[in-house]
Structure 1
Amino acid sequence: MKHWRVALAVLALGTTTAVIAAPSDAPNPIFTGADLFNLSAASDPQISPDGRSIAYVRRSNDVMTDRARSTIWLIDVATGDERPLVTGTGSHSSPRWSPDGKRLAYVSTAEGGASQLYVRWMDSGQTARITGLADSPQGIAWSPDGQRIAYLMNVPDDGPKLGSAPAKPEGAEWAKPLEVIDKATYRVDGGGYLKPGFDHIFVVDALGGAPRQLTFGAYHDGNPEWTADGRGILFSAVRKADWEMIANDSEVYRLEVASGAVTALTDRRGPDAAPVASPDGRLIAYVGYDDHKKGFEQSDLYVMNSDGSAPRKVAAGLDRSIDQMEWAADGRSIIASYEEEGSVTVSRIGLNGSVSPIVRNVGGGSLDRPYAGGSFSVSRGGTLAYTTDSATRPADVSVSSGGKARQLTRLNDLSLSGKSMAQVRTLDVTAPDGSRVPSWILLPPGYRDGTRVPVVLEIHGGPYASYGPHFSTDYQLYAASGYAVLYTNPRGSTGYGQAFADGIEKTYPDSNTADLLAAVDAAVASGIADPENLFVTGGSGGGVLTAWLVGKTDRFKAAASQKPVINWTSMALTADGIQFFGPYWMGGLPWENQSSYWARSPLSLIGNVKTPTLVVVGAEDYRTPVSESEQLYSALKLKGVPTMLVKVPNASHGGIAARPSQSAAKASAIIAWFDKYRKQAGAAETTASSGN
């Protein structure tokens, strides 16, 4: 009733265009697309060595540039007080404390152009630009004595040549020269077409000066990590003659800083990565697994001697994939994070294999959808800084010490305190074979128990990923428009062990059908879902499953397939990972196993589709290329199924929701598509939906 003036104006517009809605006399309690510009999210919390301060990256949306902007803030752990540390023009990220905690290195575009490396003296507040680079430094790491900083940077290459054009007369305006490509991976999602060159390790004096390149060759090297004595740098890479066609076979290497000599410390068929030296330098922790050419394999925690000898798996019974890790200061254990039950857990893992959880509520994977994610860091005294979120709030910074946790920031309480946010409930779902399907349902604001409402089944991508009770702008916008949002972690999702992930091995997407429809049945049985108003959407892997489901059932009133794969043959030959998708997901190359490729392609089911299906894709998607969405749209048109194609300009696969206006507009387009086919309960519901 708070918006009766607006509702009357909406009704009046049906008969005349002269009526203008009266201005609102109160703040709008409904979460809208415009609210995306008011959101902030914390990431990359870096606690100082003494545990007294936390530097973190705050990402907020700028309504004038329609972009997310990163600044660095500082929190006093004892009091919770915070202050801006690096703000102003440009984007600022990757704060990293010096070993003594007196300086903070970070990466910034403050002076325009490529990102540069800066160092701030914390006692005086003075800042120095350390580099003047043509490309951006990545993976910055302080040497143990604090005198140098290592980083990774792309080194340009001339690229291949093939023939030549005639000599151009002076002053002539000719077409651009030919582009000659000879690399297997020549474009990547979010990065576009790659310029010739290779990623290599550099080191620079922490006081500035000319950097020194330490690694060379036609290889892409990984982020640097110093050895405890400062004489070496550890990194992972595929440094083999046929590296370009190798998908999962990196090794851990040691680089001698003085001589530049590179030595392989691991040697097995499978990836070894993320090496970290123990505080005393005797051991190296890293993650990896034996490659069995599965679609997904968990990364196990390993420890080896500093020379690469005696490698052994630690906590073999954990059955979780290690995402991030740091050594404890005493060198007797490792602090590591891993997905678990829809969120991220940080545990202390002893070298004897013991696993002691510290916190289980790490969150902050993304804004648009509720992916498990987040990050952490540890002080010398064992205090843990980490990001956490909820279904109603984006990521904040929390701290845990001595078994007690405190949330230090509440970045969105002011902007969202006047909003009626959708609340989440756990939904019990059992698949036909008796297996549990972890599921949640987000209810429209003001939902009353016993009321049936339209439900959107939203399916996560990956497919090897996981959702959880986390914040999602898409979901909040759907809920504000009167839809409950049902979401699940069907088999194949991560954080439930290798066997659960193997549930879709070489059978995806059909192996998810029963789990997803069981969740829909449970939502109907709960009394929440209106069986006459069921809708389905999802992105990437969720787009695949959306296209697959409408070929299997007519239960859904409408669908929105976002950035899908529709034809595994074309995807395997055009995506930015041709070395991986065919051999690992499909079990062979298209000409070796075409029947399987076709049987698992949603295109094979188009003849069955009757459900009105919207198709959505980023115009610069190189992961599930635009041609996949265009094939689906064309097939639906030829079949006579109601459809529309929505392209998000300049958007990549991973960045389809990066620009706030486009994220809001994409959600609005999907809501409008569903509203078009939504069976209305009456005029009151129509008015409420229109007012949203």
Structure 2
Amino acid sequence: MRPDDLALLRTPGVPTVSPDARMAVVAVGRPDLGDDAERSRLWAVPTDGSAPPRLLTSGWCDTDPVFSPDGRWLAYRGAERGGPPQLHLLPTAGGAPRQLPGHPLGAGRPVWSPDARRLAYTARVPEVHRSSADRAGQPPWLVTTLRWQVDGVGVVTDRHSHVFVLDLPPDTDDDRAPLPRPRQVTDGAADDADVTWSPDGAELAFVSARHARADRDLVHDVYAVPATGGALRRVTDGRADCSLPAYDPSGGWIWLTARLDLGPDGLDVAGRGATLCRVPVAGGAPEPVLDPASTDRGDGTPATVLAGGAAHLGVQRRGAVELLRVPLAGGPPEALVDGPFTVHGLAAAGGVVVATVGHDRSAGELIAVTPGRRRLLTAFGRGLAGTGALRRSEERTAPAPDGVEVHGRVTLPDGPGPHPVLLSLHDGPHRQDGWSLSVDTQTLVSAGYAVVRCDPRGSAGYGQAHARAVRGAGGTVDADDVLALLDAVLADPALDPERVGVMGAGYGGWLATVLTGRTTLFAAAVVEGALTDPAGLVGSSDVGWWFVDQYLGADPPARAADLTTPTLVVHGEDDRRFPAEQGVRLYAELKRRGVPAELLLFPGEGSDLGRTGRPRHRQARLEHLLRWWARWLPVTPDEDLPGEVVDAAAAPGGDDGREPLTVRATRLD
């Protein structure tokens, strides 16, 4: 796989299924390198596999499709180039889509009322008009809370997200029929999310943080409000981080996903998995339905899916995300999809479950699950798969120094080796690095590197005890785990133990600095979008006010003064999770002490540059990774290495689509 193969990547989103279960619709995204934008269109897919998918919309970026309960309409979000997403309505019998009344900052995912006559959604409500054309002329922000910014969104102190309801006219077929303005149902200095309807359509439930300590903890409760507006009612008891509520058909329970018991200060989230729960509609404490000690939800479905007397959800398990069917009336859950796969999203209706499922060589395809059968419905990834460049991963395990089993994967290039080795560390730490397509891994393997990935303690998918082992102690047992697995896999004759590099993003980037401060094993490092200065993170990051205390403790082991490994520092200029200052500080300290270093800074990008950045930035990032590793870890071991050079910098102008700024301590001759 080459960097320009990004253009072949097709990524299906979360599907929706028609009420008669005959048709699924899914948004499929693709990076458009020519237009330097992420494009997305909707595709219709017969659930019986009787016909290939057909293109349904032709907008610039169409996402989040949802069928109406009567099957007559498809609501979705559509955005013009450079504009915010707005709601659209498409008749399923044929015809042109109609844009619904818009919002200046865009509208969230639509949710249909049971009678198919209303749509609920959330949208940010700006208190002050702020034009991006004249940032210097904007009024100041007055910040009085800890929660005042969000990565990927920006400052939110004067533009909170609230619930809206849009009533559709009786004759929606008439494009000339005027549409009423949406009604704002909630307000206040809090963000509302995950709205859902009660079975009778009289009430809405949503998630918000409106309690007295909301600015100082991570608790989120389920609230209910009349669909016509009125007084709010808190449903849950204020001790959990709740999300994705859904009324069951009886109307007596609300099912939800929650991280339970966050402790007396509401901050004890480190390593706590999100599990399926239920709560009486009248209110109370969330009751876990699945064991929170061993269950952690991992699919990206923006709802709790209830259908056929069961809840359906994806659960993280040893690098996979399995699809579970959990009976509402009780009884053991049933695995509908298990093994080395990742369930990204799902929908269900009429006895059919449709899921977007990927693995280590696929960004995802739609499958239909019926009793006793699983049917593959799509082949969106055939273009990339047709290159023949994608490689399978092999599972490996090793004992940590204290005897705990460490689980990971190795992806090998063609040929007998011995191959140079790159240790790749995932973000989080409460994530997993498993059976899903990694563009970085496939690109580096195609270039001749063996890539080792690991789920050390702190990772998701191995139970709560495994995940909480790094609570207040990051960089200790997780670093031990990574080195233990690496030592074990380096015994493979296909791997060269004398040629090893390390790379990581976010928390994984910080863990890479821990390892390079501990050992001289690594020829070079790549530290991307990483936490490198915990003290400076507290006041500058959107999560810094709690993340450092929960995961790193009082004396984190990574210090720039301990580092001597040549390091490429990669950062998004607009990263609010681990702000760019973190990377710049590391780069400056390395340079001051004469350590070979480069700073690769991407204008306008946030924390998830490798997956959600502008396509040309993503391509440039891959090219720089290949260049860096060719410099410090050449695939052919007897290649001559270029000498040291003076610093150089380049930053082409332009506010949009600018090339990344590269500050070099070394370069290719």
TM > 0.5 = yes
Q: Which residue of 2 aligns with 1:675?
A: 630
Structure 1, unpaired ranges of 5+: 1-30, 161-172, 364-371, 588-595, 687-692
State the SS of the aligned residue for 2:584: helix
Shift of the 362–77 alpha-carbon distance from structure 1 to 2, 3 Å rule, reads farther
Cα deviation for residue 75 of structure 1 reads 0.4
State the SS of the aligned residue for 1:676: helix
Cα deviation for residue 361 of structure 1 reads 5.5
Is 1:300–1:313's contact at 8 Å kept on the other side of the alignment?
yes
Counterpart CA distance in 2 for 1:684 and 1:614 is 20
Q: Which residue of 2 aligns with 1:300?
A: 275
State the SS of the aligned residue for 2:344: coil
Is 2:323–2:343's contact at 8 Å kept on the other side of the alignment?
no
State the SS of the aligned residue for 1:394: strand
Is 2:513–2:558's contact at 8 Å kept on the other side of the alignment?
yes
- Whether 1:340 aligns to 2:296 is no
Counterpart CA distance in 1 for 2:326 and 2:216 is 31
Shift of the 50–678 alpha-carbon distance from structure 1 to 2, 3 Å rule, reads same
Q: Choose the corresponding residue for 1:376, options 346, 349, 356.
A: 346
Q: Choose the corresponding residue for 1:641, options 592, 595, 606.
A: 595
Shift of the 175–134 alpha-carbon distance from structure 1 to 2, 3 Å rule, reads closer
Deviations 1:6-36 (A, max 9, x none): xxxxxxxxxxxxxxxxxxxxxxxxx211111
Cα deviation for residue 581 of structure 1 reads 1.8
Matched length: 617
Read off the aligned partner of 1:355 and give its amino acid letter: P
Cα deviation for residue 110 of structure 1 reads 4.6
Q: Which residue of 1 aligns with 2:558?
A: 602
Q: Choose the corresponding residue for 1:510, options 471, 476, 490.
A: 476
- Whether 1:483 aligns to 2:449 is yes
Is 2:471–2:550's contact at 8 Å kept on the other side of the alignment?
no
Counterpart CA distance in 1 for 2:294 and 2:109 is 28
Cα deviation for residue 423 of structure 1 reads 2.8
5 Å-filtered alignment, 1:556-635, equals: 556-586=522-552, 596=554, 599-603=555-559, 606-635=560-589
Is 1:509–1:600's contact at 8 Å kept on the other side of the alignment?
yes
Deviations 1:142-163 (A, max 9, x none): 0001010011011122499xxx
Counterpart CA distance in 1 for 2:420 and 2:464 is 35
Q: Which residue of 1 aligns with 2:175?
A: none
5 Å-filtered alignment, 1:195-594, equals: 196-207=158-169, 208-243=179-214, 245-288=215-258, 289-292=260-263, 293-309=268-284, 311-316=286-291, 319-323=294-298, 326-331=304-309, 333-350=310-327, 351-360=329-338, 374-381=344-351, 383-444=352-413, 446-448=414-416, 451-586=417-552
Cα deviation for residue 213 of structure 1 reads 1.1
Counterpart CA distance in 1 for 2:631 and 2:135 is 50
Read off the aligned partner of 2:623 and give its amino acid letter: S
Read off the aligned partner of 1:222 and give its amino acid letter: A
Deviations 1:200-234 (A, max 9, x none): 11111234322111112222112210000100000
Is 1:185–1:578's contact at 8 Å kept on the other side of the alignment?
no
Q: Which residue of 2 aligns with 1:152?
A: 122
Q: Choose the corresponding residue for 2:26, options 40, 47, 56.
A: 56
- Whether 1:37 aligns to 2:7 is yes
Counterpart CA distance in 1 for 2:637 and 2:272 is 50
Read off the aligned partner of 1:210 and give its amino acid letter: R
Cα deviation for residue 685 of structure 1 reads 12
Structure 2, unpaired ranges of 5+: 170-178, 642-669
Read off the aligned partner of 1:677 and give its amino acid letter: W
Read off the aligned partner of 2:571 and give its amino acid letter: V
Shift of the 469–116 alpha-carbon distance from structure 1 to 2, 3 Å rule, reads closer
Counterpart CA distance in 1 for 2:640 and 2:593 is 33
TM-score scaled by length of structure 1 = 0.84
State the SS of the aligned residue for 1:138: coil
RMSD: 2.5
Cα deviation for residue 56 of structure 1 reads 0.1
Counterpart CA distance in 1 for 2:339 and 2:151 is 30
Deviations 1:69-128 (A, max 9, x none): 11111001121421111114x211110010122211011125974322111111133432
Shift of the 497–654 alpha-carbon distance from structure 1 to 2, 3 Å rule, reads same
Read off the aligned partner of 2:192 and give its amino acid letter: D
Shift of the 411–520 alpha-carbon distance from structure 1 to 2, 3 Å rule, reads same
Cα deviation for residue 131 of structure 1 reads 1.6
Bigger CA drift: 419-428 or 497-506?
419-428
Read off the aligned partner of 2:151 and give its amino acid letter: D
